Amino acid sequence: MRGKTDTNNRYVIIMAGGKGERFWPVSRQKTPKQLITLLGKRSFLQQAVDRVLPLVPLKNIIIITNEVQAPTVRKQLPKLPKENIIAEPCGRDTCAAVTLGAAIVGARSTTAVMAVLPADHVIPEEKKFQQVLSDAFNLAARGQVIVTIGIKPTEAATGYGYIHTGAALPTPEGAKPSKTTFYKAERFVEKPDYDRAVEYLNSGQYRWNAGMFIWSFVTVTEGLQKHQPEMYEACQRWFKVANNPAKLKRVLEKEYPNIKKISIDFALMEHAQNVVVADGSFEWDDLGSWTALARHLKPDAEGNCAVGDFIHVDAARNIIFDARTKNRTPIAVVGLRDSILVQTDDAILLAHKSQAQKIKELVVKLTNDKAYKKLV
């Protein structure tokens, strides 16, 4: 039936190639944010796969990662077919990864509908998320629309891009009413300053851009053909060899370094006129830094959030994280405020919460110093 996707024709591409430098020293090049366990007993990537399994068969889940991280991805997802873990030869931003994912899905089914999802988001309300994703699959299967899931803002955040939504869309003719509301996307907006973010929040007409997209193979390739012809041509070439992993690897090694480095937002979403926003009214966090972790941990009476054996005198609003796997000892703190203290088997990080974004700079410094390069 048109508009109701057969689950065997649904695919999920999970983008899992990020560096996650802001979570150093727990996050490293070989095991970045999406491959570590910060909340619960499963890594963010494992949770991302678990979340979509009720909607999509395991054989239709494709992970796009890189050469360094691929062995850990395979280890963490032993039941996933080996050919479903694709290692990019080098990072070329999200448009290249989306194009590659589309070529692989299209080679399996040219009538497929696919979701492109990040590997490192926190979504506690899984059932609500699954409902929105399922409705988005069905809408994307009906016709030539690009669906993006926009998250209802809960605060005037300046760290996210926003989507300005237009009118709510009527139910397509002959379709059952959807539980999810869909809006026309008026425009994508870059990360705003605080005053603008307050305006967006109060207007009720903006959603956070969570980087989640759903489209049919035909729709995404037509979008690339119109707005990114070079990417479209690359997609055609990769499509021809996608069912032969060894051939695909050789072609990617030859072509990937010369592919344009551009995000899917700039390359396609901001130009396309057929974008629809699914109302993502579920709890969501992209967990961009250590400070964000505190939102998901229970604080003590003084506002300290701790994972580990922590004792203090006159300490407040700190984040304490003990990631040591052996020989754990108590972490004792006196008089420390608004700080981040992270301990691993081979490194300790102490930072003021207000400087959390500068951890990336620290990682660059470590990388450039022979004595500390091994810690990256």
pLDDT at 1: 35
Q: Is 148 contained in some domain?
A: yes
210 and 333 in one domain?
Answer: no
Q: What is the pLDDT of residues 252-296, one digit of tens each?
A: 999 999 999 999 999 999 899 999 999 999 999 988 889 999 999
295 and 269 in one domain?
Answer: no
368 and 263 in one domain?
Answer: no
pLDDT at 2: 44
Q: pTM above the 0.85 mark? A: yes
Q: Is 1 contained in some domain?
A: no
Given a cut of 70, is residue 3 above it in pLDDT?
no
pLDDT at 4: 52
- Is the Cα torsion angle 20, 24, 25, 28 positive or negative in sign? positive
Q: Is 2 contained in some domain?
A: no
Arithmetic mean of pLDDT over the chain: 94
144 and 265 in one domain?
Answer: yes
Q: Is 107 contained in some domain?
A: yes
Q: Is 285 contained in some domain?
A: no
Last residue of a domain, one of 280, 306, 325: 280
Count of domains forming the chain:
2
- Domain of residue 364 covers 290-375
78 and 100 in one domain?
Answer: yes
113 and 18 in one domain?
Answer: yes
133 and 265 in one domain?
Answer: yes
Q: Is 268 contained in some domain?
A: yes
Q: What is the pLDDT of residues 88-112, one digit of tens each?
A: 999 999 999 999 999 999 999 999 9
167 and 87 in one domain?
Answer: yes
194 and 150 in one domain?
Answer: yes
Last residue of a domain, one of 280, 314, 332: 280
Residue 121 is part of a domain; what is its CATH number? 3.90.550.10
300 and 212 in one domain?
Answer: no
